[in-house]
Structure 1
């Protein structure tokens, strides 16, 4: 297999939501620390999040518009600023909307290892955005001309970064796209003893309307573990 083993690692409420008011409960906050602990137990070479998740948690740079003005043309070739990082964080941002302040996610985000940022983009992004990433020392790889080919993205993550195992940490549409494309190998799931019934928040998997619907994924249960704060940990392998 010329791609990493992909572990979808998530925390949900009892009603299957990955965000919402339940995250403010004492139980969810306690179990989030366990979520990070379990992720670190895998010691992954890379972890991946979608644009919305990154924007809400890690990408806090000044909002600057890149409109394709006067600038030097930047070739559409992959740029790896740090080929020997201990860990990578992969930010899926096809249109180049994320704004950063540095080229790493520090250990202050309850992670044991600093993660070098690698942005997954399409060739349609502005030259100015590529220059912006280069100036910050942020790596980027191209996943397609106008749309991302996740199979190709994973191949590059494997060959360019040497990643054999990767955590997929949301959000819902990125999880759903990976699942629909047959690219999830393992599900690592913490369930909090909470529910809020909010229909406006995202569930664990959400398939974008643009994708052709595939048959329902089926899983084999490998582990059940009771956690503190009345939480549950489940681990599944996907059936091929």
Structure 2
């Protein structure tokens, strides 16, 4: 069993989700107020978002020969909620107190190809981790571990487009919560709310749940019709 998963995003009217751009549309207070209403104290973000806003500059440099970590689990602390990140091979660098940065403990999901040395590094920073999947991260397995070991029952996926698209492809998104600001991006190459799905994929069906408008921001919620 996995958590109930909601993808919650703020986008321009053309569906782009670059944070620096959407912050120019709105101060994002409404976004976080809506997130609180969704009842998902734990959130998940992709590597690009983490590198842009939270991690230190640069990448982890190995000092020892690479040794695949294999399937592992480390729970640094028991908590009511976690900030969850995805870093397939383990390259992000972190401050000593990530709990202060995120406002709750950090939990990283990696593939089994991440190095043992990098896991030792995370442990030295008191960062929890899950490694699963030989060829990339096994996201369904990771979601089950979040529920079984970390007691996460509701999870909000809050960026970016590629992790959203991957989880949608794997039928891991139960609900889509989209907030559209009063602006258009239009820049070439910018990520959409859901991105990177293979060209042979069919559109994902949704059923309407609700719509609200506040101060020019439109908030729409849809249930995903999983196959």
TM-score normalised by structure 1 residue count: 0.86
1:214 and 2:201 correspond: yes
1:226 and 2:220 correspond: no
Provide the rounded CA distance (Å) in 1 between the counterparts of 2:19 and 2:220: 21
Match of 1:152 among 136, 141, 144: 141
Of 193-202 and 95-104, deviating more is: 95-104
1:166 corresponds in structure 2 to 155
1:217 and 1:22, CA in 2 relative to 1: closer, same or farther beyond 3 A?
A: same
Question: Where does structure 2 lack aligned partners over 5 or more consecutive residues?
Answer: none
The C-alpha deviation readout for 1:124-147, integer Å capped at 9, x for no partner, is: 112211110011100000121231
Provide the rounded CA distance (Å) in 2 between the counterparts of 1:123 and 1:225: 42
Question: Where does structure 1 lack aligned partners over 5 or more consecutive residues?
Answer: none
1:79 and 1:22, CA in 2 relative to 1: closer, same or farther beyond 3 A?
A: closer
1:232 and 1:149, CA in 2 relative to 1: closer, same or farther beyond 3 A?
A: same
RMSD: 2.3
Provide the rounded CA distance (Å) in 1 between the counterparts of 2:189 and 2:86: 23
1:104 and 2:93 correspond: no
Q: Is the 8 A contact 1:55 1:98 kept in 2?
A: yes
Provide the rounded CA distance (Å) in 2 between the counterparts of 1:24 and 1:87: 25
Task: Please report how far the alpha carbon of residue 68 of structure 1 lies from its aligned counterpart in structure 2 after TM superposition.
Answer: 3.6
1:75 and 1:123, CA in 2 relative to 1: closer, same or farther beyond 3 A?
A: closer
Task: Please report how far the alpha carbon of residue 80 of structure 1 lies from its aligned counterpart in structure 2 after TM superposition.
Answer: 0.7
Provide the rounded CA distance (Å) in 2 between the counterparts of 1:70 and 1:179: 32
In the TM superposition, 1:40-189 aligns within 5 A as 40-60=36-56, 63-66=59-62, 68-69=64-65, 76-82=71-77, 84-106=78-100, 114-189=103-178
Number of equivalent positions: 226
